[in-house]
Amino acid sequence: MELLNNLAVGFATALTLQNLAYCFAGTAIGTLIGVLPGLGPVATLAMLLPFTYSLPPVSALIMLAGIYYGAQYGGSTTAILVNLPGESSSVVTCLDGYQMARRGRAGAALGIAAIGSFIAGSFATLLIAAFALPLVELAFKFGPAEYFSLMVLGLIGAVVLASGSLLKAIAMIVLGLLLGLVGTDVNSGVARFAFDVPELTDGIGFVAVAMGVFAFAEIVANVEKHEHREVFTDKVKNLLPTGRDMKDAAGAITRGTLLGSLLGILPGGGALLAAFAAYTLEKKIGGAKASPPFGQGNIRGVAGPESANNAGAQTSFIPMLTLGIPPNAVMALMIGAMTIHNIQPGPQVMSSNPALFWGLIASMWIGNLMLVVLNLPLIGMWVQLLKVPYKWLYPAILVFCCIGAYSLNNNPFDVYVTAVFGAIGYLFYKLGCEPAPLILGFILGPMMEENLRRAMLLSRGDPTVFFTRPLSLTLLLMAAALVVLVALPAIKSRREEAFKEAD
Partner 1 sequence: MRIGHQRDFWSGLMFFVLGLVFVALSRSYDMGTAQRMGPAYFPTVLGGLLALLGLVIAISGMRRAAHDGAVERFHFGPLLIVLGATALFALLLRPAGLVAALLVLIGVSAYASHEFRAREVIPLAVLLVLLVLAVFVWGLGLVIPLWPAFVTR
Pick 341 or 453: Cβ nearer partner 1: 453
| Contacts made by residues 450-458, CB under 8 angstroms, sequence distance 24+ | 450/144, 450/186, 451/144, 451/145, 451/147, 451/148, 451/151, 452/144, 452/148, 453/144, 453/187, 454/144, 455/143, 455/144, 455/145, 455/148, 458/143, 458/144, 458/145
d(CA 129, CA 179): 34
Q: Does 486 bind partner 1 (CB under 8 A)?
A: no
Candidate residues 381, 396, 487, 491; the one interacting with partner 1 per rule CB under 8 A: 396
Candidate residues 104, 130, 395, 468; the one interacting with partner 1 per rule CB under 8 A: 395
Pick 318 or 337: Cβ nearer partner 1: 337
Candidate residues 2, 54, 196, 291; the one interacting with partner 1 per rule CB under 8 A: 54
* Cα torsion 51, 53, 54, 60: sign: positive
Residue 183 is inside which H or E element, if any?
strand 183-184
Candidate residues 8, 240, 378, 457; the one interacting with partner 1 per rule CB under 8 A: 457
Buried b (16+ CB within 10 A) or exposed e, 469-497: beebbebbebbeebeeeeeeeeeeeebee
Give the DSSP per-residue string, 286-334.
TTTT-SSPTTS--THHHHHHHHHHHHHHHHTHHHHHHHS--SSHHHHHH
d(CA 68, CA 265): 16
d(CA 503, CA 492): 17
Q: Interaction with partner 1 in 185-204: which residues (CB under 8 A)?
A: 185, 187-188, 190, 192-193
**Amino acid identity, residue 432?**
G
Q: Is 291 exposed, middle or buried (0-12, 13-18, 19+ CB in 10 A)?
A: exposed
DSSP designation for 227: P
Binding segment (CB under 8 A) for partner 1, from list 69-77, 134-142, 307-315, 422-430: 422-430
Candidate residues 262, 390, 409, 483; the one interacting with partner 1 per rule CB under 8 A: 390
Q: Does 291 bind partner 1 (CB under 8 A)?
A: no
Q: Does 341 bind partner 1 (CB under 8 A)?
A: no
Q: Does 216 bind partner 1 (CB under 8 A)?
A: yes
x/- mask, partner 1, residues 93-122, rule CB under 8 A, reads ------------------------------
Quote the least distance from Cβ 489 to partner 1, whole Å.
15
Secondary structure class of 184 (helix, strand, coil): strand
Candidate residues 69, 206, 426, 466; the one interacting with partner 1 per rule CB under 8 A: 426
Candidate residues 1, 4, 288, 431; the one interacting with partner 1 per rule CB under 8 A: 431
Q: How large is the angle between the packed helices 17-35 and 354-375, nearest 10 degrees?
A: 50
Pick 363 or 418: Cβ nearer partner 1: 418
Nearest to 35 by CA among 83, 63, 65, 76: 76
**Amino acid identity, residue 418?**
T
Candidate residues 11, 168, 339, 483; the one interacting with partner 1 per rule CB under 8 A: 168
Question: Residue 323 phi/psi, 5° resolution?
Answer: -110, -15
Q: Interaction with partner 1 in 221-240: which residues (CB under 8 A)?
A: 223-224, 226
Q: Does 484 bind partner 1 (CB under 8 A)?
A: no
Q: Does 387 bind partner 1 (CB under 8 A)?
A: no
Asked whether 260 and 311 are in contact (CB, 8 A), the reply is: yes
Candidate residues 28, 155, 170, 408; the one interacting with partner 1 per rule CB under 8 A: 170
Q: How large is the angle between the packed helices 17-35 and 2-14, nearest 10 degrees?
A: 80
Binding segment (CB under 8 A) for partner 1, from list 115-123, 166-174, 276-284, 369-377: 166-174
Candidate residues 419, 478, 486, 498; the one interacting with partner 1 per rule CB under 8 A: 419
Quote the least distance from Cβ 492 to partner 1, whole Å.
14
Pick 2 or 196: Cβ nearer partner 1: 196
Q: Which residues bind partner 1 (CB under 8 A)?
A: 51, 54, 165, 167-168, 170-171, 174-175, 177-178, 181, 185, 187-188, 190, 192-193, 216, 219-220, 223-224, 226, 389-392, 394-396, 398-399, 401-403, 406-407, 410, 412-413, 415-416, 418-419, 422-423, 426-428, 430-433, 448-449, 452-453, 456-457, 459-461, 463
